Structure 1
């Protein structure tokens, strides 16, 4: 997983407040993984611990949860979520998916990447590490962005930036390394996993109004750079153009921007069976 060198306490806090979309996808993944009471679970790319709260309730005090993330700022927020909890079965570590050295061999029942695998640099090494730490018969799951999925938000923003001669940069895509469904299947297979399932799902983001979408652009982590880079004298004009364009995406209840997420599950073979 790429080392986080752009993170700040402020951006970590913005991420924490604007990760509902990732959380909902992750919650669906937890149901597919069939995490149970007493399981030992590894959350890879745990962020600020939002999904960890959900999982800790499932596994209960008899289970164990380890969260790992390359951002010190996000790990600090995750730890705060569990401050004062009467449990010692949850821990958060700053680290990389490619090096899970603090996790023993054959010690994890379930591992997952919730919207984090596309940030991993060396995906082969990461999956080999997951294979090592899983117990025989253990399972890994992930939600990750599909590489060929159209970026509908960029398709809206980029023409406007071009019209006003604003250099867009690539903040939204910085460090992201997406895969296709066949590529992900091969990565799992090469690492030794079996029972592999990779399912593309449409997972649109929904906004109740143009104002809600603009707030997303201005507040969500690095996405805020989109409008903050716009000169103040034309920022309101661009906001109005975005609002008009959004009306073409509006249905009866919300504004939707589609994308495709890969929901993937794989198992470490149990040679005892």
Structure 2
């Protein structure tokens, strides 16, 4: 997982306030994985701990939950979520998906990446590490953005940016590195996983207003921060044009911006 050298206490709080979409996808993944009471679980890229709180209620006091994230600010917010509910069976670590050395071999029933795998820098090492810590018969699951998916937000914004001779690479955010379904299957297989299941799902994100849509475009903690670092003298003109275009389509399905999410599950074979 790439170092988050751009994270700040404020951006961690903004992420926590705007991660409903990721959380809901993660809830679905957790149900698919059939995590249950008493399981030992690893949350890789736990962020501010919303999914961890959900999982802790499922595994109960007899289970064990280890959460790791490269941002100390997000780990701090995650710890605060648990408050008095925190106990000896929940552990928070600041660290990388590529280095799970603090976790023993064959000690985890389930590991998951909820909207975090596309942030992992060296995916091969991360999956090898995940494989190592899983018990035989254990599973890894993830929700991750599909690199090949069209982005409805970009369909609206890009033509307007082009009028001002502004181009944006698909991946603007430092560190993000998406894969497609074929690449993900190969990565899991090469790490030794079997029973690999990958399902593509379009999970729309409905913006409640043009103002919310524009705010999302400017957030620096978002992978869709298309309006950052544009000169002020033209940014307001661009925002006004985007606002007007959004008004035209806000009651249509086109207003539901999003890209395809890959839901993946794989198993470490029994010895």
TM-score by length of 2: 0.91
Residue 207 of structure 2 corresponds to which residue in structure 1?
207
Q: Does 1:241 align with 2:231?
A: no
Distance in 2 (alpha carbons) for counterparts of 1:98 and 1:253? 39
Residue 183 of structure 2 corresponds to which residue in structure 1?
183
Moved more, 37-46 or 83-92: 83-92
Residue 32 of structure 1 corresponds to which residue in structure 2?
32
1:219-262 superposed Cα distances (whole Å, 9 cap, x missing partner): 46256964453444444432221122224543368921131111
Distance in 2 (alpha carbons) for counterparts of 1:241 and 1:55? 43
For the 8 Å contact 1:209–1:255, the answer to whether it is kept is: no
1:181-200 superposed Cα distances (whole Å, 9 cap, x missing partner): 11111111111111110111
Secondary structure of the corresponding residue to residue 84 of structure 1: helix
RMSD: 2.2
Residue 269 of structure 2 corresponds to which residue in structure 1?
269
Secondary structure of the corresponding residue to residue 175 of structure 1: coil
How do 1:108-123 and structure 2 match up within 5 A? 108-123=108-123
TM-score by length of 1: 0.91
Distance in 2 (alpha carbons) for counterparts of 1:99 and 1:258? 31
How do 1:43-122 and structure 2 match up within 5 A? 43-122=43-122
Moved more, 15-24 or 204-213: 204-213
Q: How many residue pairs end up in the alignment?
A: 271
Change (3 A) 1:169 1:192: closer
Question: Gaps (5+ residues) in structure 2?
Answer: none
